[in-house]
Amino acid sequence: MTITRFVLNEQSKRPESRGDFTILLSHIVLGCKFVCSAVNKAGLAKLIGLAGETNIQGEEQKKLDVLSNDVFIKALISSGRTCILVSEEDEEATFVEPSLRGKYCVVFDPLDGSSNIDCGVSIGTIFGIYMVKDNHAPTLDDVLQPGKNMLAAGYCMYGSSCTLVLSTGSGVNGFTLDPSLGEFILTHPDIKIPKKGKIYSVNEGNAKNWDGPTTKYVEKCKFPTDGSSPKSLRYIGSMVADVHRTLLYGGIFLYPADKKSPNGKLRVLYEVFPMSFLMEQAGGQSFTGKQRALDLIPTKIHERSPIFLGSYDDVEEIKALYAAEQKNA
């Protein structure tokens, strides 16, 4: 079962659809294949190294960042199915010209975790898809929607293999690129995250800046008081890799707010929302410290939010600690 056939099967369940969504997804898949090839050749093709520019994050852009962003922007526009594009690499949103305009808005991080490129750690593309409200007059409001309005979300991880994990709103499925076929093959059907896990994933280097509930929760992971074994710490520092492990093995991934970054570090539209969408579709959940992550309504396209996502029971524990703090406040 290839991703193309899978998506066509999904489309056949929606008689009203005219295949636009399938065409859009096929262009996203094309972008992933291209970036996968470029990432695999990076060391040889000297694609590693600074491109001299800096992106909105103020980070030095590496050539692969620039290349990946160009590939996805071009692929999405040429699909003829998009009208607004938001990329981590571009300060402003891209409004597609009317002759090529479609009804979907795509928010994406073309190469998340790119600071890990030079050392070969898995990196990835993260994307989310909204339906435009009125494609004759698209505005930023079409992408400043709560994550629960997304039609689809996914990521493609470029690691020991190239794995694309996708949800179109009825469960989560994983596909692995077969280089000999040049096709993504269904390898992880109907992914469900374990209800509770044995792993917590956070950058402990920020511990001195954490708030009370996060500090208490991590303490409980390391020194459980209920007689259970301590959780293991696994932190790669590349969101796609940390989330993929959490999805398959269970546990919790945290990027909390701290004194230095009161809204945390991760971006709402193209990191928090897509990963939260996938977690909920896989039976897990995602919390910001204040509310369900997918209920957030962003006001800016590069807005940040704290995030606690993963196994349902593990996230429940940290929600209880924030609720208790709220009550005592």
Site residues for ligand P6P per CB under 6 A: 112-113, 115, 203, 237-239, 242, 265
Q: Residue 10 or residue 242: which is nearer to ligand P6P going by CB?
A: 242
Q: Residue 212 or residue 237: which is nearer to ligand P6P going by CB?
A: 237
Q: Residue 89 or residue 112: which is nearer to ligand P6P going by CB?
A: 112
Q: Which of 243, 319, 230 is nearest to 282 (CA)?
A: 243
Alpha helix stretches (DSSP H) within 181-311: 212-222, 239-249, 273-281
Q: What DSSP state is assigned to residue 119?
A: G
Please give the angle made by the CA atoms of 313, 264 and 209, to the nearest 5 degrees. 90
The rounded distance, in Å, linking the Cα atoms of 233 and 218 is 10
What's the min distance (Å) between Cβ of 324 and ligand P6P?
26
What's the min distance (Å) between Cβ of 257 and ligand P6P?
13
What's the min distance (Å) between Cβ of 270 and ligand P6P?
10
Q: Residue 104 or residue 108: which is nearer to ligand P6P going by CB?
A: 108
Q: Residue 245 or residue 265: which is nearer to ligand P6P going by CB?
A: 265
The Cβ of residue 221 has, within 10 Å, a number of other Cβ atoms equal to: 22
Q: How close are the terminal C-alpha atoms of the chain, in Å?
A: 53
What's the min distance (Å) between Cβ of 112 and ligand P6P?
5
Contacts of 98 (CB under 8 A, 6+ apart): none
What's the min distance (Å) between Cβ of 89 and ligand P6P?
12
Q: Please name the amino acid found at residue 146.
A: P
The rounded distance, in Å, linking the Cα atoms of 323 and 307 is 15
